[in-house]
Amino acid sequence: MNQGFVYRERIGPGAAGQGLLDYLVGRYRHSDEAVWRARLLRGELDLEGAVARPGDVLRSGQSLVWRRPPWEEPDVPLGWAVLHRDEHLLAVAKPRGLPTVPNGGFLTHTLLHLVHLAAPDAVPLHRLGRGTSGLVLFALTPLARRRVSADWRTSRVEKVYRALARGVPARPDFTIDVPIGPVPHPRLPSVHAASPAGKPAVSHVRRLEARGESSLLEVSIETGRPHQIRIHLAFAGHPLVGDPLYGPGGLPLPEAALPGDPGYRLHAHRLSLDHPATGDRLTLECAPPRELATLYDRGA
């Protein structure tokens, strides 16, 4: 049981005139109308400092607060390991299944919470999907946060992943550059997927091993769009083995899985960056799990 959490937001102009209950159901689709009505009747939400009621009508600029009571979080792997630490940077290994940051019912069962127990000032410089294992980099100083974030935006940080994909690509090396942007999803307002109207995204793929009906791939990404590797490989006809969300064309499958649903095989293997204090090139690695390791990795 965690300690509960207080969620705060400011009502935007687009919600002005909308009923509070309709707004909550439409914006936070993880709970239906009956659940949100019960929360309101229990007095868990405040609107502009007063207890909110289901029939309240919203105005732009109002403060909305949900005081979520303590809850039991789903069981997930809670082990993690330090890969590198100096005055400015902390690199850790995240297990598959552990969320990086609070979201979707997870608060203390997250990498961020666990890391903060050892390094309270650590700020994540990126995040991995819940089902993705591997290297996560944290800033320990404002200098590191500022400089590494700037390099991330200009593609100075090299990001290399391991992926287990369906089928065997015809070419040993290829590049995928389909744009990525929000598309409709039946259980959410939207989800990122391949979209002509999306933002540019570039992934470089190298085949490491053919494994019958699947392939072990190395993927380096120039950009960092949400779920980029999952989307791009699905678009190329080689979705990740076990991916419950993305299918042909890099679009959501009809079964309407959620982005955080696990099952796929993806690992953040290596990061190379300029050290924020010295400027020296720093390469960090996290050993892949057995199913994403090559024969050479396993010493065979």
Coil, strand or helix at 9: strand
Question: For every residue of 91-135, which 3-state class applies, written as one string?
Answer: EEEECCCCCCCCECCECCCCHHHHHHHHCCCCEECCCCCCCEEEE
Give the H/E segment covering residue 51. strand 50-51
User: What pLDDT digit, counting tens, does each position of 80-98 carry?
Assistant: 999 999 999 999 999 999 9
Residue 54: CB atoms within 10 Å = 17
Domain 155-264 belongs to what architecture?
Answer: 2-Layer Sandwich (3.30)
d(CA 215, CA 221): 18
Residue 298 has pLDDT above 90, yes or no: no
What amino acid is encoded at 57 in this protein? Answer: V
- Write the CA distances from 100 to 54, 95, 109, 113, integer angstroms: 33, 10, 9, 9
Give the H/E segment covering residue 148. helix 142-153
User: What pLDDT digit, counting tens, does each position of 174-226 carry?
Assistant: 999 999 999 998 888 899 999 999 999 999 999 999 999 999 999 999 999 99
Six token digits for residue 42: 């229990």
pLDDT the model gives residue 4: 92
pLDDT bracket for residue 103 (50, 70, 90): confident
Regarding predicted confidence, which is higher, 103 or 92?
Answer: 92
295: left (phi over 0), alpha (psi -120 to 50) or beta: alpha
Average pLDDT over residues 34-46: 96
Averaged pLDDT score across all residues of the chain: 95
pLDDT the model gives residue 1: 85
Q: Are strands 81-85 and 123-124 parallel, antiparallel or unpaired?
A: unpaired
pLDDT the model gives residue 300: 52
Average pLDDT over residues 119-127: 97
Average pLDDT over residues 239-262: 93
Residue 290 has pLDDT above 70, yes or no: yes
d(CA 125, CA 111): 13
CATH assignment of 5-68?
Answer: 3.10.290.10
Q: Could you tell me if 128 and 95 are in contact, meaning their C-beta atoms sit under 8 angstroms apart?
A: no
d(CA 289, CA 60): 49
Q: Could you tell me if 203 and 161 are in contact, meaning their C-beta atoms sit under 8 angstroms apart?
A: no
Give one DSSP letter per residue of 236-299, joined into a string: TT-PBTT-SSEEGGGEE-TT---TT-----EEEEEEEEE-TTT--EEEEE-PPPGGG--TTTTT
For the chain, the domains span 5-68, 155-264
User: What pLDDT digit, counting tens, does each position of 263-279 carry?
Assistant: 999 999 999 999 999 99
Number of H helices, E strands in the chain: 5, 18
Torsion of CA 206, 209, 212, 214, to 10 degrees: -50
> How far, in whole angstroms, is CA 281 from its chain's centroid?
26
Q: Could you tell me if 95 and 77 are in contact, meaning their C-beta atoms sit under 8 angstroms apart?
A: yes
